[in-house]
Amino acid sequence: MKHLSLTKCLVLLLTGILLSSCYSHRVVGLLQEPTKHNGIPTYEQGVKYEDYRLRVNDEIIYRLVTLDETIFKTLNQGNNTNIGQYANSYRIYADSTVDIPFLRPVRLAGLTVREAQDTLRAAFREVVPDADVKMALYNKMFTVIGEMRSNTYYIDKDKLNIFQALAMTGDILNTGDRRHVKIIRPRGNGDAPEVLEFDIRSNTIIDSKYYYIYPNDVIYVSRTKISFFAAPSYAGVLGIITSSLSLLVTVLNYTLMVIPH
């Protein structure tokens, strides 16, 4: 009877631990409604998207269009592009300017891409009266690290949101801590990066300050503390319980056989 009671206690304890540590929808599900029972936070809504402003060390790429064949040949430098078009990339220096051949230093840091394009066009028209310029951010990328497919990804659309960014990575692994996702966002003027921490399970992330991803963002997801004990599904839990019970029964039977009555 003593061994039987011990067996029941061990079975109940093992079952409780395993079932409580399974990856349920409450643990890994996205877009959940915050309630006072699930502990999911509510975030401020209605935060508007702000256009990205160029920073020191950003790289721009531009295309100059002109009908002046002499200017074209001078700028083209042997590149095989269409007549009247020239493309190259340039880094923004610590003094906030870019150094483009035949132009005075042009200050671009702190401007949006549209504002920088207008500024660059005005600078070129001091040299080439009919110049038109199309400009874009060359290093338009974000990085993910942690419990997901770590890599650097190119932002191929305006207003990329956190869910679209995660879809590009293949989503967060079950072992990822969705309650404490971090976005590390560089600031201008040499200031320390901003760290935004949030619970990605909350449906109030939409239109909050955590919703949009900007160039040079780093998304970090740490490993959850329960991941060592958690099972990937209830089927996995049942498998572990069955194996554990089999082992427990084997050990108890052996113990009963070797202990004299």
What is the average per-residue pLDDT within 176-184? 96
Percent of the chain with pLDDT over 90: 56
Closest to 28 in 3D by CA, of 165, 199, 225, 162: 199
- Dihedral of CA 65/66/71/73: which sign? positive
Q: How confident is the model at residue 132 (pLDDT cuts 50, 70, 90)?
A: very high
CA distance 24 to 16: 14
Tens digits of residue pLDDT in 65-123: 888 888 767 765 544 445 445 557 899 999 999 999 889 999 999 999 999 999 999 99
Task: Specify the CATH number for 25-51+140-227; select among 1.20.1250.20, 3.40.50.150, 3.40.50.970, 3.10.560.10.
Answer: 3.10.560.10
Residue 205 has pLDDT above 90, yes or no: yes
Task: Specify the CATH number for 59-137; select among 3.30.300.30, 3.30.1950.10, 3.40.47.10, 3.30.1360.230.
Answer: 3.30.1950.10
Asked if 222 and 148 touch (Cβ cutoff 8 Å), the reply is no
* The model's pTM: 0.76
Domain ranges of the chain: 25-51+140-227, 59-137
Query: Does 25-51+140-227 match 59-137 in CATH topology?
Result: no
CA distance 249 to 242: 11
pLDDT reported for residue 80 = 44
Q: How confident is the model at residue 187 (pLDDT cuts 50, 70, 90)?
A: confident
pLDDT reported for residue 198 = 97
Give the E-state strand segments of 56-189 in sequence order. 59-65, 85-91, 97-98, 106-107, 132-137, 141-146, 151-154, 181-185
Tens digits of residue pLDDT in 148-176: 999 999 999 889 999 999 999 988 999 99
pLDDT reported for residue 81 = 47
